[in-house]
Structure 1
């Protein structure tokens, strides 16, 4: 064991005290975070406009600040982008994280001198917690790769801006820099396919032990590695590869293919980072869900998902949540986001401690006929059948077909890229439909009532979704394929990739 690995165990044991406090006293920590945030922002433009000086309780806050999205906050963020200080948070932000919105175009999310360290420390805590839980430190002495966006930053009215992962790359601790790949020059490559090839060049002969990134883009990296190594599995290319860290999307649809590429099952850590804040990470290898971080500069609110689009939806603090309820996640942060809907839905799988899973996107659902099918349900229906029949799914998405040809009833259309087609595609289709009916009673009623016909599967060409994302300029980085659409915009373009 090297010096770094030995020291990491000591540091991990020390860090575990903080995590244990979060596990035992999360509600109290959240309430202190709330008071701290309100006090800090009371003299900002937003704080004055919403009378933060009069807010004493969470109930006071809800009366003054509505749940809002980027468009609702845009008038304030535009002022920040133009260089104004003390708008949403004291002073000017340290950075503006540039993200792509589906309705807002380019979005700029502020990162402040208070919020960015919370992002960095949460990522560090996830690794330290893993070390303390498992006692495994081998990855510390080898090479680590973080597949991320370009670290090249631009400047806008005195504030640097760029992709979150690129910004974070400038703040990697010095003790990790020698272990970290790819190089700065490779990270700066904008074209994703060129970048992946360069990453393969740099890593294929290295002692890679930790690999981190969004699962579909890690799969693309593995595919290129395997091709370059004449079909060897990743475990034979990187003999000491032992830890996979991921976030951004549900791992389960990608697990079978990734593990087949690796050649063995390895430990993994799920994380929940976003431009708006680092929200949770997996703290137990044998427990479902991620530990919600109560002291990461965020005060959380939870809106029952089926009320989200109501005029006055229920808003709950951490103290009030329940198990197995689909909540829209709302953030109030030390970067100055207030009542901000991040767009994700979460469910609590444990209340002691508070652990969550990401169940979908609040705007990614199918309810063309009142069925309100969500991402968690389609993933369960497909993956449970695929696992039973030993079918590997590469990627998929679902959309409604409201106006089919002829006298057909409408249906849900599933675009699926299989690693290998099921032996009996019709039986596979039928079983997936039955699984979805059992998961969603509204869908069951619509099938039984002959409002909808059972779903249809469209097997896709190899690489179909990569080619689609490439055609939209969204290949790689933090870009993710929506699992569900309530319209045909994406589905109509995917038709050209059907087998």
Structure 2
């Protein structure tokens, strides 16, 4: 009886919540402009606000004139002042947290999270689950055990500012009513070594009634494979009540077939788009493609056409100016003091009513050694179409250019770790090349013009990508291997794992 009441109360909450979200879905453009001017007004007396004359900003155009697009390196001098304990630098007072992320050129990044921003991170995650409950009329999973993948919840302090991985920070804010159903234990979450941590999670969960599991696809696959190795059963055979998988960080589609194979039957998936800088979008409709852009969650969005990104006077568009099915670099202004900040993600809109997006790639992850500018969305869609025609199962893949082959024309080299290879790899390769030509006219021209030869597939041994991630100290957590590169750094490592 208690479980019945708990489930029905959750459904009532969910449906009431979803009904209350209609306003922001319908008024996104107006809300965004009001939000920007409110953020500017709040930060007017900060060091950044005084430096950029916030008192003179009365419109979006004023803001775009006064505040140039920035990356972490541009804002780092301000963030260093905040780390030293200085107040009113990027945002009023000091941040409540620093989310520490792995950088490349910048080393570790310290992304400020203000006391105003933290509730939006939590509300967005809750809203995503409520939308699922309401549309599916299903809340049975609330009576079982749940895994929410996270980094260590142990936080350090930098001049009084608590600092750690975002997922570890969020762990301190999980409501008490969810704590008793939540796994793994605190002791396990504190384990640093990812492989040791996975083993401990397997031991803690394999005998439990797991109903919800959350994590990025590579982590889920690693966890599921360990469970199957120990038990010899498909996941849904020993988790028969598993109802929902929540995932984010990367496009789920390239992993779907592999996940279904491990699961033993399809399980509902809820896709999200969170980051240390904010929680941007989630899947709100399970009959339609795309993620609902959260336009009332303390973040003002701008969009730069991908072909213009990086140019000094690149066009900065707002919601009412975007076009469907066009790739844009995502630019953020947040209630934590990130101003016209380039997060590095590329999105494309597939709906304006409401605004729904697909994450189509990263500004730094592309292949354009010959001017073709191939992005993640194109390779993932081409691969999906090919697998539908010629059955195969992939664990992971990476595309790199081969500019100076030992003989013949240059080419795109696809490093693929197959779970199940296609029966005819040559046919698979030819279909994949044609699907790429269909999606990228520049690539098609290069093939037609005999500048490039058709792509080449290098089939890899099992665990090749696991070993690469481990070699880079990026195994587990929210770490993701780039799908594309404009050089051979990853490709050269993977060559040693050729079958």
| TM-score, scaled to structure 2 | 0.98
Q: Distance between the aligned counterparts of 2:32 and 2:43, measured in 1?
A: 17
Secondary structure in 1 matching 2:102: strand
Cα offsets for 1:328-359 (capped at 9, x unmatched) = 00000001000101100000010001000000
Q: Which residue of 2 aligns with 1:396?
A: 397
What are the equivalent positions in structure 2 for 1:116-127 lying under 5 Å apart?
116-127=118-129
Aligned residues: 497
1:70 paired residue number: 72
Computed over aligned residues only, the root mean square deviation of the Cα atoms, in angstroms, reads: 0.9
The SS at the match of 2:27 is helix
Q: Please give the per-residue CA displacement for 1:359-381, whole angstroms capped at 9, x wherever unaligned.
A: 00011111111111111111111
Deviations 1:98-129 (A, max 9, x none): 00112211100001100111001100010111
What displacement does 1:2 show?
2.9
Matched residue, 2:463: 463
Q: CA deviation at 1:387?
A: 2.2
Shift of 1:22: 2.0
> What secondary structure sits across from 1:306 in the alignment?
helix
Instruction: State the partner residue of 1:51.
Output: 53
Extract structure 1 runs of 4+ deviating beyond 3 A.
none
Q: Secondary structure at the residue paired with 1:447? A: helix
In 2: Cα distance, 1:409 partner to 1:19 partner:
55
Report SS of the residue matched to 2:163. Answer: strand
CA distance in 1, matches of 2:366, 2:290: 22
Q: What SS does the aligned partner of 1:396 have?
A: strand
> What secondary structure sits across from 1:6 in the alignment?
helix
Asked if 2 retains the 8 angstrom alpha-carbon contact of 1:151 and 1:162, the reply is yes
Partner of 1:20: 22
- Show the 5 A alignment for 1:292-303: 292-303=293-304
- 1:412 corresponds in structure 2 to 412
Tell me which residue corresponds to 1:284.
285
| Correspondences of 1:34-433 after superposition (within 5 Å) | 34-229=36-231, 231-406=232-407, 408-433=408-433
Query: Which whole-Å CA distance do the structure 2 matches of 1:389 and 1:21 have between them?
Result: 45
Render the CA deviation track for 1:419-453: whole Å, top value 9, x for unaligned. Answer: 12211111111111111011100001111111111
- Which residue of structure 2 lines up, in the alignment, with residue 473 of structure 1? 473
CA shift, 1:489, in A, is: 1.3
What SS does structure 1 have at the residue aligned with 2:21? helix
- The TM-score normalised by the length of structure 1 is 0.98
Listed one character per residue, the Cα deviations across residues 215-250 of structure 1 (whole Å, up to 9, x for unaligned) are: 110110000111111x21111111100001000000
Q: Distance in 2 between matches of 1:389 and 1:409?
A: 27
2: CA distance, partners of 1:486 / 1:81: 34
Q: Using the alignment, how far apart are the partners of 2:170 and 2:4 within structure 1? A: 26
Q: Secondary structure at the match of 2:108?
A: strand
For 1:30, the equivalent position in structure 2 comes to 32
Partner of 1:6: 8
Mapped to 2, the partners of 1:498 and 1:152 lie a distance apart of 40
Task: Confirm or deny: 8 A CA contact 1:51 1:64 kept in the other structure.
Answer: yes
Q: Structure 1 residue 190: deviation in Å?
A: 0.6
- Pairwise CA distance, 1:5: 1.5
Tell me by how many angstroms 1:17 deviates. Answer: 2.8
Contact 1:394 / 1:417 at 8 angstroms: preserved in 2? yes
- Retained in 2: the 8 A contact 1:281–1:292? yes
Equivalent-residue separation in structure 2 for 1:28 and 1:130 (angstroms): 27
Q: Deviations over 1:3-37 (max 9, x none)?
A: 32222112112211332112211112212211211
User: Residue 314 of structure 1: SS of its match in structure 2?
Assistant: coil
What is the SS of the residue equivalent to 1:89? coil
Q: How big is the shift at 1:314?
A: 0.6
Q: Secondary structure at the match of 1:486?
A: coil
Q: C-alpha offsets along residues 279-336 of structure 1, whole Å, 9 cap, x if unaligned?
A: 0000011110000001111000011011002111110111111110100000000010
Distance 1:494 1:84 in 2: 45
CA contact (8 A) 1:386 1:393 kept: no
Unaligned runs of 5+ in 1: none
Q: Which residues of structure 2 form unaligned runs of 5+? A: none
CA contact 1:143–1:181 (8 Å) conserved in 2: yes
Distance 1:9 1:427 in 2: 49
Question: Could you tell me whether the CA contact under 8 Å between 1:328 and 1:345 is conserved in 2?
Answer: yes
Give, in whole Å, the separation in 1 of the partners of 2:20 and 2:413: 47
1:414–1:455: 8 Å Cα contact kept in structure 2?
A: yes
Q: Partners in 1 of 2:256 and 2:319 — Cα distance?
A: 31
Whole-Å separation in 2 of the counterparts to 1:478 and 1:93: 23
